[in-house]
Structure 1
Amino acid sequence: MLGECAVRAAGVAMATLSGLVGLMGLGPAQAAAAPARGVQGPVPVEWRACTGEGVPSGMECGALDVPVDWSKPRGKQVRLELVRLPATEPARRIGSVLGIPGGPGANGIDDLKRAAPGLTELRRRFDLVGYRPRTTAWTTTAAEPCWKPGVALRDPRDPRDFEAMAAAMAEAFVACRESDTTGLFAHLDSLSVARDMEAVRRALGEERLSFMANSYGGVAAAAYMRLFPQRIRAMYVDGVVNQTEGWPMVNLVMRAGVERSLERFGAWCAATPACALHGEDAAEVWRELTRDADREPIPVTSEQYGAGELTGWHLRNLGFVPDPGPGHSRWLALAEWVDRARRGDGSGFADYVLGNTQVWAMPVMLAMSCGDGRHYTGWAQLQQYRRDIRKVAPSFPGAAFDQLGCIGWPEPVANRARPLEVRGLPPMLGAGSLEGDFTSTERFIRMVPGSVTVGYDGPGHALYLSGKKCPIAHATAYLTELKLPAAGTVCPAE
């Protein structure tokens, strides 16, 4: 889930601000901006019709300026672009639903454009609002040094190797910080994002907001719940990360799901003649491949990312594909890649693995989550994680790649992992794939008494973004009527 987001974000992050302005049909000086000045009273967003390709009918655009550093409300500002699909039955309008995008670095404007066809029923009673968070703004403006990987990610051998990686990443972070003219480098944590969301609520003129969060958006959702519980009317979360338990637990839960996916991959291959590993124990072939690659790494070359090698750790962290894809297309490809790799040809994995290895060592990517405490606190914590992961996901041992890059973070952790105070919060609705992110979502929503998670009996992630009708129907009923389905409700695969 997270590795795929990183590669996608690296591909889209170079999109220029002019491309976004093209969506709005406005020049930079014309874009409507409502300055958010600390706690002063709300300034309404000035909405106007959006223009450009792929814009849903009736979509309106606006903008809001918020402080880069919320402790300095009159200091440097960052512009949040907003879009709105107004309620189609304004006489029965309840309020606004704000989308909380994932990533980190995903664009809520793109989310709303993608999800709009499936949310027509919800839109009857609500304005649907999406926004471009500060993390997305950061990826379009970050200086060149921020795009240079600090280290080649690897599983540290010993404390000295761990400290060497931390020092290399710290040097890369400092180079990025010194080149940053936006001021955003140290202010991309989810508490800052949550304060931006509150500024959006005020600018919309809503007493309370309803929310739809997906993936890494769960971290910002929890931050908003922590800071502004009285401003939440309803909260629907879909395939979210539960950072409140700490990143080692996030990865243990995730890898336990991947372990189950490996067994499903093996069973599917045994029943599918088209699988390149048909007639063998495909799950064991995978395990043997990674063990062999630990002893003798497989040399590979990527046209985009250059030469490298595939160790077992790289394959376990970045090579396995837990989602079978449409018609099991991804697993068909995975089986072929595994079959070739065990014969010395790792080219099938080259782009994805080497790409993620670099992306997750780039300060531009890591700065969006290091402020949320996404790092091992030291060698002792890493060693404990290694012991724990062998118990819950024995086929995927070793350090979690997404926690390694942040070990050299030079700033204070603004949004540390800690239990959430839930008094005053309304019951939430969660949704997640029983083959993937259900458990992480369930662990998130169980913090609030009376909450319910709907299971989806098939693969998928961020279900409402992909138009899954049953989860969307439950989300619509909950957000509209504040009505939760029965505990244990499961949606059939679509």
Structure 2
Amino acid sequence: MSNAHRRGRAHRRWYALTAAVCATAVALPLYAAQGQEESSTLTWQQCKGHSDAQCATLTLPIDRSSPWKTFGMKVARRKATNPSKRIGVLLINPGGPGGSGVNMALNSKFPAELRERFDIVGFDPRGTGQSHPLTCSTKLINKAPQELPRNQAEFEQLASYNRTLRQDCRKHSGPLFDHADTLNVVRDMDALRAALGEKKINFFGHSYGTLIGQQYAQKYGRHVRSMVLDSNMDHSLGTTKLATTAAAAVDDSLTAFSQWCSATSTCALHGQDALGRWDRLLAAANRGALYDSGTPISADGLISHAYDSFSGPEWPAFATWLKSLRTGTPHRQADPPRTGSASGTEPHVRPAVFCQDWQARVRNYQDLQALVRAEKAAAPHARTSPEMREAILGCVGWPEKANNPQRPLHIAPGAPTILLTNARHDPATGHAWARNVHRQAPHRTRLLTYEGSGHGAVGATPCTINAMQQYLLHLTLPPKANCPAADIN
């Protein structure tokens, strides 16, 4: 698995209600000199560069058993444009882990009626963005093992590297590193609710942000007025089921892409067996015989390109790229160049959050082989989910006990019916996860399926946008369980 792939996951596209989230992770200076306003424990000031937004810092305990150790959680707010019709606050989270709720609030374009009726409030979860970001040595991050372990010795090398990286991150990040799990984020979010002076909140969470929403509803259900969870995580799954269902979601997207090519004359592979071509290209990549304009393409690189293309979805460009690939003489699998001489630190939040939220621990090479075989059985064409495999491999060598291990969803009394949305063909958070979340709380959730593709249902079509708005504004659940797919051109 390449360094570019590992590090690229931390900067994935951030999603918003109209797919217009700012995709940059550059931190904005929070304060300007004027526009100050007091609100409980939050001191609001105009956000620099955003005349219609206010920013603040909420001081919170790192560990609630030692409340004197604190950090500052960054918050951004765009107040309701029609105060006379204001319903309340809409808290938002774009997922990741690592996505900035502050940037989402400042740079996203929300439907006008939601902007009229809600204060849009984004926050950077602990360890993320401008909320005491978890950082690690760039030099050490760049030394990440490049390939899947091929024997027990290489497995032990991976475990040793992960332990070294974890200690390095703990050194640079301080005590917050050990308390980066989502349950702590949920407690922070309820403290934000109280600081905002709200009895109840509304919440929109996307992707990993759905885990924040689910666990908030479990712990603080009576504090929820409405909640939309788009592209759902399933926190009930053990390691093998998590890996196999994630791989199956990529395989499903690959099949959907192939069917689109067969039915669409503008697809570059129309009239061909697109799935068969994929299988042949993947076999060539495994032999070291696949090239893109003379540049070798590994199997990991091919699968990762597909995964990213399906998340859009960006099917036409992906079909054109697949058609351009060529096979040739196998090349020697040389080690890729290292950039380990880089100095300094950089944000690196994902392993800390995932490995504290999931008891996903592969103990030895034999267990890893069994997991890879199970992935291939579940996904005979795609073979794996590159993002999920990376996440699980990143926990090899970590302490056995996770802070926030998997458990079924049990929504607390007093919570409203939660609206779950998911694309039918989502490579990152497969529809099977949303169905299983709904099965765990069938009378407390409503599942709306977008019959199209991509990582994100809300914002995909007027149908999904309207369903979300009607629910948030009027608590009216969608009368139908499905929204039709949009055309892909």
Flag whether TM exceeds 0.5 (same fold).
yes
Return the structure number with greater helix share. Answer: 1
Match of residue 275, structure 2, among 259, 265, 283: 283
Q: CA RMSD in A?
A: 3.9
Name 2:18's counterpart in structure 1. Answer: none
Match of residue 455, structure 2, among 461, 468, 477: 461
Name 1:243's counterpart in structure 2. Answer: 235
Distance 1:329 1:292, change over 3 A: closer
Match of residue 385, structure 1, among 367, 371, 377: 371
Name 2:286's counterpart in structure 1. Answer: 294
Distance 1:247 1:478, change over 3 A: farther
Name 2:358's counterpart in structure 1. Answer: 373
Match of residue 421, structure 2, among 431, 450, 465: 431
Name 2:215's counterpart in structure 1. Answer: 223
CA distance in 2, matches of 1:257, 1:219: 18
1:20 aligns with 2:29: yes
Equivalent residues of 1:174, 1:410 under 8 A apart = no
Match of residue 408, structure 2, among 400, 406, 419: 419
CA distance in 2, matches of 1:26, 1:283: 58
1:66 aligns with 2:64: no
Equivalent residues of 2:186, 2:212 under 8 A apart = yes
Provide, for residues 323-366 of structure 1, a one-character-per-residue CA deviation record: whole Å limited to 9, x for no partner.
285774432443245x23x34699xxxx9xx99xxxxx995542
Kindly provide the amino acid, as one letter, of the partner of residue 45 in structure 1: L
Distance 1:480 1:213, change over 3 A: same
SS for the counterpart of 1:46 is: strand
Say which is worse superposed, 417-426 or 205-214, in terms of deviation: 417-426
Equivalent residues of 1:172, 1:363 under 8 A apart = no
Equivalent residues of 2:38, 2:44 under 8 A apart = no
- Over the matched positions of the two proteins, sequence identity in percent amounts to 28
Equivalent residues of 2:250, 2:384 under 8 A apart = no
Distance 1:278 1:468, change over 3 A: closer
Kindly provide the amino acid, as one letter, of the partner of residue 99 in structure 1: I
**TM-score normalized by the length of structure 1:** 0.79
1:90 aligns with 2:99: no
1:402 aligns with 2:391: yes
CA distance in 1, matches of 2:131, 2:305: 25
1:45 aligns with 2:52: no
Name 2:481's counterpart in structure 1. Answer: 488
Equivalent residues of 2:449, 2:481 under 8 A apart = yes
Return the structure number with greater strand share. Answer: 2
The Cα of 1:140 is off from its aligned counterpart by: 5.0
Name 2:167's counterpart in structure 1. Answer: 174
CA distance in 2, matches of 1:13, 1:372: 26
Name 1:121's counterpart in structure 2. Answer: 113
SS for the counterpart of 1:257 is: helix
Mapping of residues 104-183 of structure 1, within 5 Å:
104-118=97-111, 120-134=112-126, 135-137=128-130, 140=133, 142-145=135-138, 148-180=141-173, 182-183=174-175
CA distance in 2, matches of 1:271, 1:69: 55
Equivalent residues of 1:218, 1:237 under 8 A apart = yes
Say which is worse superposed, 382-391 or 430-439, in terms of deviation: 382-391
Query: Gaps (5+ residues) in structure 2?
Result: 15-21, 340-345
**Aligned pairs, number:** 456
**TM-score normalized by the length of structure 2:** 0.80
Kindly provide the amino acid, as one letter, of the partner of residue 169 in structure 2: C
CA distance in 2, matches of 1:274, 1:467: 21
1:213 aligns with 2:199: no
Provide, for residues 293-345 of structure 1, a one-character-per-residue CA deviation record: whole Å limited to 9, x for no partner.
3233668999xxxx9x75435533565445285774432443245x23x3469
Distance 1:231 1:459, change over 3 A: same
Distance 1:168 1:61, change over 3 A: closer
Kindly provide the amino acid, as one letter, of the partner of residue 458 in structure 1: G
CA distance in 1, matches of 2:483, 2:6: 25
Kindly provide the amino acid, as one letter, of the partner of residue 163 in structure 1: E
CA distance in 1, matches of 2:293, 2:274: 25
Match of residue 477, structure 1, among 470, 474, 479: 470
CA distance in 2, matches of 1:260, 1:141: 34
Distance 1:398 1:141, change over 3 A: closer
Kindly provide the amino acid, as one letter, of the partner of residue 32 in structure 2: G
CA distance in 2, matches of 1:261, 1:480: 33
The Cα of 1:410 is off from its aligned counterpart by: 4.5
Name 2:185's counterpart in structure 1. Answer: 193
Name 1:37's counterpart in structure 2. Answer: none
CA distance in 1, matches of 2:486, 2:453: 8
Provide, for residues 81-112 of structure 1, a one-character-per-residue CA deviation record: whole Å limited to 9, x for no partner.
21222223333333212112301110112222
